[in-house]
Chains A and B, each alone.
Chain A
Amino acid sequence: EVVMTQSPAILSVSPGEGATLSCRASQSVSSNLAWYQQKPGQAPRLLIYATSTRATGIPVRFSGSGSGTDFTLTISSLQSEDFALYFCQQYNNWPSFGPGTKVEIK
Chain B
Amino acid sequence: QVQLQESGPGLVKPSQTLSLTCAVSGASITSGSSPWNWLRQSAEKGLVWIGRIYSGGTTTYNPSLKSRVTMTLDKSKNQVSLKLTSVTAADTAVYYCARAGGGLIMPFFDPWGQGTLVTVSS
Contacts and interface: CB of A to CB of B under 8 A. Distances in A.
Interface of A: 32, 34, 36, 42-46, 49-50, 55, 87, 89, 91-100
Contacts of A97: 46-49
A34 B39 CA distance: 15
Contacts, number: 60
Contacts of A91: 103, 105-108
Interface size class of B (residues with CB under 8 A): 20 to 34
Interface in B92-122: 96, 98, 101-115
A105 to B, nearest CB: 23
B49 A95 contact: yes
A92 to B, nearest CB: 7
B49 A43 contact: no
Given A32-B103, A49-B102, A94-B49, 14 more contacts: A32-B106, A34-B101, A34-B109, A43-B98, A43-B113, A44-B96, A44-B112, A49-B101, A55-B110, A89-B108, A89-B109, A95-B108, A99-B46, A100-B46
B101 A43 contact: no
Contacts of A42: 114
